[in-house]
Amino acid sequence: MNDLFEQFLLETRELVQSATEDLLALEAAPGDPEAVNRVFRAFHTLKGSVGLFDFPPWFALLHAAEDGLSAARGGTLAVDATLIDLSLEALDATSRWADAVETTERLPATAETEAGVLAGRYRALLSGEPVTRQADATALPDWAVALAESVPDAAGVALIAVRYRPRGDCFFSGDDPLGIVRKVPGLLAVSVEPAAPWPSHGDIDPYTCNLEITLLTQAARADLDTVLRLVADQLTVVDIPAETRAGAGAAEVFAEAGESDPVVAAILTEQLRVLAATRDAETGAGRLESCERAAANALRFAGRIGEAERCEQARERGADALRDAIAAILSSQGIPPSPAVIQEGPGAIEVHGPDAARTLRVDAGRVDALVALVGELVVARNALGHLAARAEAGEEASTLARAMRAADADIGRLATALHRNVVALRLTPLSQVFRRFARPVREAARGLGKDVVLEVTGEETEADRGIVENLFEPLLHVVRNAVDHGLEDAATRRRGGKPEAGLIRIAAAQEGDGIVVSVVDDGGGIDPAFIRRRAVERGLRSAEAVEAMDEDAVTDLIFAPGFSTAESVGALSGRGVGMDAVRAAADRMGGRVSLESRVGLGTTVRLHLPQTIALARLMVVAAGGESYGIAMELIDAVVRRSRTAIQAVVGGNATVLRGRTVPVLRLADLLGHGGLSEAGPEALLMAVRTGSNSIALEIDRIEDRIEAVVRPPTGLVGSIPGVAGTTSLGDGRVLLVLDPASILAQDRAREGL
């Protein structure tokens, strides 16, 4: 990929984002001529950029969009919901195609058809005539023709073909793509394929949806729209007129199918494809188990218990037996699997090519500061050479020692400054994340029939690029929860004396060495009494345990896996997957989540996150003959206590520190060193924080205090519980950095507490 193409992709994504924001602003103020001009300029620039490359369908779509927006700018076409929705669809297509050409350097096979449909809708707006559907099968999209041909006897009945491409983050919004498809009435055929080639098994993100679902139905358009209304922006719908088909009626064919379920058939067919892919000893067992579970669960969900058990029994005999069992089940339902699927051999599944180029825009001033620091570091290094020459000349050791100490301090200062400036190169404004929320909020509010005002502040706050790139999904959870659970409907708000439009505010601010990102809503708040009842109903806690909790602990239950306040499963919520994912994401980024709520006034969720990958201050301690690091920010105090001041209590030992009774645990015992720990008349205790509590760890001695870059644990070290990371000491040894909270949790799990 050359530099020109990389710049094209970068600018395309920026223009798509800015045009989306302006279109949403136009929806709120249709008469704003400057907003219309900005949208027109964005599409005009996009068209010119695409014209530099050989993508005719893409160019044709943007040209049609430019014509439509030019007419809107000239006042001959109304800026209404139809134009705005169509332009948003064109931007969605542009975004998808940019992703496709980045990885494959070509447009998707369906791009020409999709571009033709969207361009035709623009032309219909300009002509003032309704959009006409193609009346002959040869003009239909290839994917729609393939679906129609998969039911050869369905004739004399008007059909509808739908292509459904779920968003990559659909699981985080509570969507179940296959569950949605199962609700479509009159299904005749379903095909489930990967939307993009699967990456290698080590790079698969299980939380990202990579599906393209196409389906054929004989349902009425109104019934179809009702089922799919909440994912309308992810659909391409094509009418297939009755006169384009020949043969028996579709209703008769569907009746003859009996218990055949096209969704189940599509899932089973995909398992055959996976079983036929390249096998190896490392992944074969996992692949077999995954395919069996997927097939059995689909069959059991459809009420076909015997066939599900058949798959489970076949798995015990190996991959070939499972493949034969699935093929037999498909054949028994009149859906013979494609020979190409059964005979698919090694290498049949395509994987992604090389990773896409990663770019980072950096302020020139920061680069200049970095160059200046490197220059100072070169001078400091030259000073070391001079000291070496003085030592070789036999200069007095005491004089040299002082000079070396000064040189070491100088290099240490420069190294710290250099690290700080290099880290600052990765700082990215949060506006890149915040700008993406206008459209999800609009769509969620539309789907729920609510009027929502979104406010954004502090978007100039900067954070490490890794934080910014991983912030969107957990923040999207919180925002959608605020729209769905937090904000009341208009009637309820009126009765409570509130404006009909609910308010959601996303804000960011600097807090010490980190940042705080908050989502505030002015909704009904969280009722602790309701949370108590729901926790008992969901079996998360016993009634006695819930009653013993204070209000803060009760409110914290919303972060428990499986907890949901929704009365029923909907498009956005109800599956118990949400705030627990937010907490897990914050933990992965080295942060935490806090929540405040007042009944009737609203809720505030705050994500406290590190701003940069900074140098960590560590205390190096000895325990059981080994050295370990503990983050200084977790340490409250280090004291010596007579062993007579450590009392035996139920469950262990305890002592009093700063007026509080805290448990005392030997670090060597927790790490499995047993009797190797040193003992004496006094104990050296280090009070550390573990979440909201404190414990006292007995250590042998303090060896050093250092600043270091802590790397996440990988490989074998990554499998050791209680290890937060590793760093290197000056003598070349690798130091394990401990996570006291994790070690304590592991110890309690072993004891069954």
Identity at 394, one-letter amino acid code: G
Q: Which range (14-23, 91-100, 685-694) has the least confidence?
A: 685-694
Identity at 235, one-letter amino acid code: L
Range of the domain at 157: 137-342
Taking only the tens place, the pLDDT of each residue in 450-503 is 889 999 999 899 888 878 888 888 888 899 888 988 899 999 999 889 999 999
Identify whether 357 is part of a domain.
no
pLDDT at residue 134 in the model:
40
For 738, the enclosing helix (H) or strand (E) is strand 734-738
Contact of 195 with 212, CB cutoff 8 Å: yes
- Would you state the structure tokens that stand for residue 350, as one six-digit string? 């395509």
**How many angstroms separate the CA atoms of 486 and 523, rounded?**
5
Angle at alpha carbon of residue 604, lines to 600 and 608, rounded to 5°: 165
Contact of 20 with 439, CB cutoff 8 Å: yes
**How many angstroms separate the CA atoms of 206 and 210, rounded?**
9
Identify whether 430 is part of a domain.
no
Angle at alpha carbon of residue 78, lines to 74 and 84, rounded to 5°: 110
Identify whether 576 is part of a domain.
yes
Q: Which residue has the higher pLDDT, 575 or 44?
A: 44
Q: What is the bridge-based pairing of β-strands 502-511 and 452-457? A: parallel
- Find the length of the chain: 753
pLDDT at 352 over 50: no
| Those residues with Cβ within 8 angstroms of residue 663's Cβ, 6 or more apart along the chain or in another chain | 651, 652, 653, 654, 695, 696
pLDDT at residue 456 in the model:
92
Identity at 383, one-letter amino acid code: A
**How many angstroms separate the CA atoms of 215 and 185, rounded?**
11
Final residue belonging to a domain, choices 561, 590, 610 = 610
- Helix spans in 172-261 (H): 177-182, 221-228, 250-256
User: Is the Cα torsion angle 123, 227, 447, 233 positive or negative in sign?
Assistant: negative
pLDDT at residue 561 in the model:
67
| CATH number of domain containing 33 | 1.20.120.160
pLDDT at residue 97 in the model:
92
User: Are residues 451 and 385 part of one domain?
Assistant: no
Taking only the tens place, the pLDDT of each residue in 366-400 is 788 888 888 888 888 888 888 888 888 888 888 88
Alpha-carbon separation of residue 469 from 15, 258, 362, 430 (angstroms): 19, 48, 16, 9
User: Are residues 741 and 681 part of one domain?
Assistant: yes
Q: Which residue has the higher pLDDT, 525 or 714?
A: 525
Identify whether 431 is part of a domain.
no
Adjacent-strand bridge partners of 706: 618
Average pLDDT over residues 353-378: 69
Residue 85: Cβ-neighbour burial (10 angstroms; 0-12, 13-18, 19+): middle
Give one DSSP letter per residue of 530-571, joined into a string.
Answer: HHHHHHHHTTSS-HHHHHTS-HHHHHGGGGSTT----SS--S
**How many angstroms separate the CA atoms of 592 and 312, rounded?**
41
- Would you state the structure tokens that stand for residue 720, as one six-digit string? 């050791």
User: Are residues 476 and 603 part of one domain?
Assistant: yes
Average pLDDT over residues 263-276: 78
pLDDT tier for residue 522 given thresholds of 50, 70 and 90: very high
Taking only the tens place, the pLDDT of each residue in 616-672 is 788 999 988 889 999 888 888 899 988 888 888 877 888 988 888 888 998 888 888
- Helix spans in 51-169 (H): 56-74, 81-104, 111-127, 142-149
Q: Which range (133-137, 206-210, 536-540, 579-583) has the least confidence?
A: 133-137
Contact of 189 with 216, CB cutoff 8 Å: yes
Q: Which of 154-163, 583-592, 595-604 has the highest mean pLDDT?
A: 595-604
pLDDT at 586 over 90: no
Q: Which range (336-340, 638-642, 714-718) has the least confidence?
A: 336-340
pLDDT at residue 553 in the model:
76
pLDDT at residue 259 in the model:
42
**How many angstroms separate the CA atoms of 513 and 502, rounded?**
33
User: Are residues 155 and 63 part of one domain?
Assistant: no
**How many angstroms separate the CA atoms of 378 and 690, rounded?**
43
pLDDT at residue 361 in the model:
65
| Those residues with Cβ within 8 angstroms of residue 582's Cβ, 6 or more apart along the chain or in another chain | 474, 477, 478, 559, 593, 605, 607
- Would you state the structure tokens that stand for residue 428, as one six-digit string? 């990215």
For 508, the enclosing helix (H) or strand (E) is strand 502-511
Average pLDDT over residues 17-38: 84
Whole-number percent of the chain with pLDDT over 70: 82
pLDDT at 745 over 50: yes
| Those residues with Cβ within 8 angstroms of residue 264's Cβ, 6 or more apart along the chain or in another chain | 298, 299, 301, 302, 304
Q: What is the DSSP letter of 621?
A: E
Average pLDDT over residues 709-737: 76
pLDDT at residue 252 in the model:
37
Count the Cβ atoms, other than its own, within 10 Å of residue 250. Answer: 24
Contact of 91 with 19, CB cutoff 8 Å: yes
Contact of 630 with 621, CB cutoff 8 Å: yes
Average pLDDT over residues 413-420: 80
Identity at 373, one-letter amino acid code: L
For 725, the enclosing helix (H) or strand (E) is strand 723-728
User: Are residues 634 and 606 part of one domain?
Assistant: no
Average pLDDT over residues 522-543: 83
Torsion of CA 132, 135, 136, 141, to 10 degrees: 40
Residue the block writes with tokens 């999207």: 476
User: Are residues 370 and 470 part of one domain?
Assistant: no
Average pLDDT over residues 549-572: 65
For the chain, the domain total comes to: 5
Count the Cβ atoms, other than its own, within 10 Å of residue 37. Answer: 14
User: Are residues 624 and 576 part of one domain?
Assistant: no
pLDDT tier for residue 569 given thresholds of 50, 70 and 90: very low
Residue 542: Cβ-neighbour burial (10 angstroms; 0-12, 13-18, 19+): exposed
User: Are residues 468 and 409 part of one domain?
Assistant: no
N- to C-terminal Cα distance for the chain?
A: 56
pLDDT at 351 over 50: no
**How many angstroms separate the CA atoms of 455 and 438, rounded?**
9
Give one DSSP letter per residue of 256-275, joined into a string.
Answer: HTTT--HHHHHHHHHHHHHH
Q: What is the DSSP letter of 486?
A: I
**How many angstroms separate the CA atoms of 428 and 433, rounded?**
10
Residue the block writes with tokens 């925002």: 479
pLDDT at residue 6 in the model:
80
Identify whether 132 is part of a domain.
no
Identify whether 311 is part of a domain.
yes
Q: Which residue has the higher pLDDT, 346 or 483?
A: 483
pLDDT at 1 over 60: no
User: Are residues 602 and 641 part of one domain?
Assistant: no
Average pLDDT over residues 80-98: 89
| CATH number of domain containing 703 | 2.40.50.180
pLDDT tier for residue 25 given thresholds of 50, 70 and 90: confident
Average pLDDT over residues 397-414: 84
Final residue belonging to a domain, choices 610, 640, 660 = 610
Q: What is the DSSP letter of 700?
A: S
**How many angstroms separate the CA atoms of 289 and 17, rounded?**
42
User: Are residues 502 and 375 part of one domain?
Assistant: no
Identify whether 347 is part of a domain.
no
Identify whether 627 is part of a domain.
yes
**How many angstroms separate the CA atoms of 297 and 25, rounded?**
45
| Those residues with Cβ within 8 angstroms of residue 150's Cβ, 6 or more apart along the chain or in another chain | 189, 191, 216
User: Are residues 323 and 233 part of one domain?
Assistant: yes
Average pLDDT over residues 428-436: 86
User: Are residues 449 and 418 part of one domain?
Assistant: no
Q: Which of 18, 62, 30, 29 is nearest to 43 (CA)?
A: 62
pLDDT at residue 222 in the model:
78
